[in-house]
């Protein structure tokens, strides 16, 4: 009996084991699909060509303007988005033509001023980013920031921007280092012009604007004084940094491109002595150091300022009869240089925006295609008609653009040909600029001689230079 029980137990165990093995063995339809399409020892390769019993696999279409666009993100100010999407002016949606030509759509991350400066610096410092390109202001192109940007030379060589030399040379030079590496493509800048009040000049027998710096200063002195209603008429707009413009009129400059100090030289001494004379004669307000741009605009709209060096789009502010008492009285001309130097026009300060590709760009190739299109004559012209400040000189000759801006297009083009920022970019630029303008004020208000102020500024600024 015991032998029979042991035999039955053995048979039962064997049956259970056999059943378990059957469950563990996959069926034909449960075979695991290999992750790779390469053939394995236990699987057949997937056929590439269609067979008599199979249909060909459909090929996914690439991104084209008519299909799914490639989206890239950009950090910008609202003025850049408006210029591209047609938010002002002629209201041309350049982004639609961009999409049609390149298959790329821009996702705008717009930042207000001045938050955009800090936002771009933070983004450039990240190890990874979802941003493909950024708009940077000229003073941001310091050596530190340039190290976080891709040089654009290889892009330009493989897919060049048409007539690259047609972009204002002073701006291109500014975003190019001493080794020829280009870190930005200028997109938005105006050449400053000289506004003048024709009515004030006419009352003093002056029928034409000045053609030399010396005439400009002479006229500013002649028209200064009280108006019939008792309000003061000032000869010119004067801000603390104004001596830089005057020194450039006499052939000087703040720093050389390799950061050598030039502001202690004769043109700056002459400019400061001239400013002291104008200050003592009341040609500009005694509290000039406290006035901001809007204060000056109000004085001009009230007919109290004769000359002003500004960006040309202020013409509409001065000639709007709803807000300005001088509508129809404002003329526009070049900022004239001294008769003692070779050039006829002063290289005015031009703070400008450029497009750059970060080293951590999410899609640098697509970013360049966008930059290339927006920098083309077609793209730049459409943006200009939308109200952008074009950096391509040919745009200023476009009949539609001239028709939009007949009073200043020609003068602004001439200015842009030689315009450049007051300072080369470096990490401590803002601090250096504050030091120099503070010393200007001390000299103008009689607290230091021009030579003392300039030498003290040099002592303080030299350690800040690269």
Domains parsed from the chain with CATH numbers: 70-191+351-418 (3.40.190.10), 193-349+425-464 (3.40.190.10)
Four-point Cα dihedral 75, 79, 80, 86, nearest 10 = 130
- Write out the two tokens for 123: 């983004």
User: Half-sphere exposure (CA, 13 Å, Cβ side) for 215?
Assistant: 14
- 8 A C-beta contact, residue 102 and residue 94: no
Residue 13 pLDDT: 46
DSSP 128: S
Residue 337 pLDDT: 98
75 burial via Cβ count (<10 Å: 0-12, 13-18, 19+): buried
Strand partners, 107: 73
Residue 54 pLDDT: 37
Residue 437 pLDDT: 98
Residue 373 sits at φ, ψ, to 5 deg, of: -70, -45
Residue 68 pLDDT: 87
- 8 A C-beta contact, residue 167 and residue 180: no
Number of helices (H), then strands (E), in the chain: 19, 10
d(C-alpha 291, C-alpha 104), whole Å: 45
Residue 66 pLDDT: 55
| pTM of the predicted model as reported, rounded to 2 decimal places | 0.83
Low-confidence ranges of the chain (pLDDT < 70): 1-66
d(C-alpha 193, C-alpha 186), whole Å: 20
- Residue 131, SS3? strand
Strand (E) or helix (H) holding 4: helix 2-24
User: Half-sphere exposure (CA, 13 Å, Cβ side) for 331?
Assistant: 17
Residue 12 pLDDT: 44
- Write out the two tokens for 178: 């001493």
């Amino acid at each position: 009996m015991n032998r029979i029980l042991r035999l039955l137990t053995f048979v039962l165990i064997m049956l259970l084991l056999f059943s378990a093995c059957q469950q563990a063995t996959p069926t034909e339809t449960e075979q695991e699909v290999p992750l790779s399409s390469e053939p394995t020892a236990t699987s057949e390769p997937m056929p590439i060509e269609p067979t008599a019993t199979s249909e060909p696999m459909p090929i996914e279409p690439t991104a084209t303007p008519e299909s799914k666009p490639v989206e890239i993100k950009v950090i910008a100010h609202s003025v850049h988005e408006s210029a591209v999407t047609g938010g002002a002016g002629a209201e041309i949606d350049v982004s639609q033509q961009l999409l049609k030509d390149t298959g790329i759509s821009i996702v705008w991350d717009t930042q207000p001023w001045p938050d955009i400066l800090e936002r771009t610096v933070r983004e450039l410092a990240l190890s990874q980013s979802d941003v493909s390109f950024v708009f940077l202001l000229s003073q941001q192109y310091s050596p530190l920031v340039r190290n976080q940007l891709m040089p654009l030379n290889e892009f330009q060589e493989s897919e060049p921007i048409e007539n690259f030399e047609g972009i204002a040379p002073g701006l291109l030079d500014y975003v190019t280092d001493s080794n020829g590496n280009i870190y930005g493509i200028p997109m938005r800048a105006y050449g400053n012009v000289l506004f003048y009040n024709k009515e004030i000049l006419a009352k003093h027998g002056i029928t034409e604007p000045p053609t030399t710096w010396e005439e400009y200063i002479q006229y500013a002195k002649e028209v200064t004084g009280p108006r019939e209603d008792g309000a003061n008429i000032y000869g010119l707009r004067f801000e603390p940094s104004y001596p830089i413009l005057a020194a450039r009129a006499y052939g000087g400059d703040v720093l050389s491109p390799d950061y050598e100090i030039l502001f202690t030289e004769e043109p700056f001494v002459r400019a400061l002595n001239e400013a002291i004379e104008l200050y003592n004669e009341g040609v500009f307000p005694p509290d000039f150091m406290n006035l901001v741009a809007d204060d000056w605009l109000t004085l001009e709209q009230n007919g109290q300022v004769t000359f002003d060096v500004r960006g040309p789009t202020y013409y509409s502010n001065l000639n709007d009869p709803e807000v300005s008492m001088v509508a129809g009285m404002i003329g526009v001309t070049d900022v004239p240089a001294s008769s003692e130097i070779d050039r006829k026009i002063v290289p005015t300060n031009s703070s400008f925006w450029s497009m750059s590709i970060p080293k951590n760009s999410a899609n640098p190739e697509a970013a360049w295609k966008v930059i290339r299109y927006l920098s083309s004559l077609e793209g730049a012209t459409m943006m200009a008609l939308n109200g952008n400040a074009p950096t391509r000189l040919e745009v200023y000759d476009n009949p539609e653009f001239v028709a939009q801006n007949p009073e200043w297009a020609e003068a602004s083009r001439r200015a842009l040909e030689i315009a450049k920022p007051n300072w080369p970019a470096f990490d401590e630029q803002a601090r250096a600029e504050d030091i120099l303008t503070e010393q200007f004020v001390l000299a103008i208000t009689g607290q230091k001689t021009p030579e003392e102020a300039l030498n003290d500024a040099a002592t303080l600024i030299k350690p800040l230079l690269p």
